[in-house]
């Protein structure tokens, strides 16, 4: 669905509920637009999850909450992180929704970048773009380092048995 139509729909529906152009409406719209992608990623991992892990933990006396937090959450954590990163990118990319729903006086980063570029590309825009690119590179390197170390730990433990 085109972003402008979706943003206009959010404005109309939020007007009915009294949310209007405010922070709550902006957050709800961001969650609504990104949640299907997160659910798709996490449910894919949950489908591949073997029930034998939880069954083994329950047979050893672990309660349902303990099984969830010590077995299930660590196994689906990579998909949760991937879903969170995808949700961030989708939310960052929803310029039209942010433009329509951002409260007066509050400017989100994409709207601020658009406002700065409208008047011409200045050194501020270049600096901001550089910071975004560097932050992305650092995030990718850190995630690769963490997942690489995690892979080494799990393979080392499985080889010893």
58-68 pLDDT tens trace: 888 888 899 88
pLDDT band for 157, please (50, 70, 90 cuts): low
Q: Tell me what the mean pLDDT of segment 54-77 comes to.
A: 88
Q: What is the pLDDT of residue 131?
A: 92
Q: 89-139 pLDDT, tens per residue?
A: 888 888 888 888 888 888 888 888 888 888 788 888 889 889 989 998 888
Contacts of 96 (CB under 8 A, 6+ apart): 3, 4, 6, 7
The helix-helix angle for 123-159 and 109-118 (nearest 10°) equals 150
pLDDT band for 40, please (50, 70, 90 cuts): very high
Q: Tell me what the mean pLDDT of segment 55-79 comes to.
A: 87
């Amino acid at each position: 669905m085109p972003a402008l139509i979706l943003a206009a729909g959010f404005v109309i529906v939020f007007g009915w509920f009294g949310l209007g152009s405010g922070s709550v409406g902006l957050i709800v719209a961001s969650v609504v637009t990104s949640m299907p992608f997160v659910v798709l990623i996490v449910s894919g991992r949950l489908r591949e999850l073997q029930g034998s892990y939880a069954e083994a933990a329950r047979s050893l006396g672990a309660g349902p909450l303990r099984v969830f937090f010590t077995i299930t959450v660590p196994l689906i954590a990579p998909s949760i992180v991937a879903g969170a990163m995808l949700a961030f990118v989708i939310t960052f990319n929803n310029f039209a929704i942010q433009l329509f729903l951002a409260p007066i006086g509050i400017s989100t980063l994409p709207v601020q970048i658009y406002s700065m570029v409208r008047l011409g590309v200045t050194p501020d825009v270049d600096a901001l773009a550089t910071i975004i690119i560097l932050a992305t590179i650092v995030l990718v390197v850190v995630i690769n380092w963490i997942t690489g170390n995690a892979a080494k730990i799990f393979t080392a433990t499985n080889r010893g048995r």
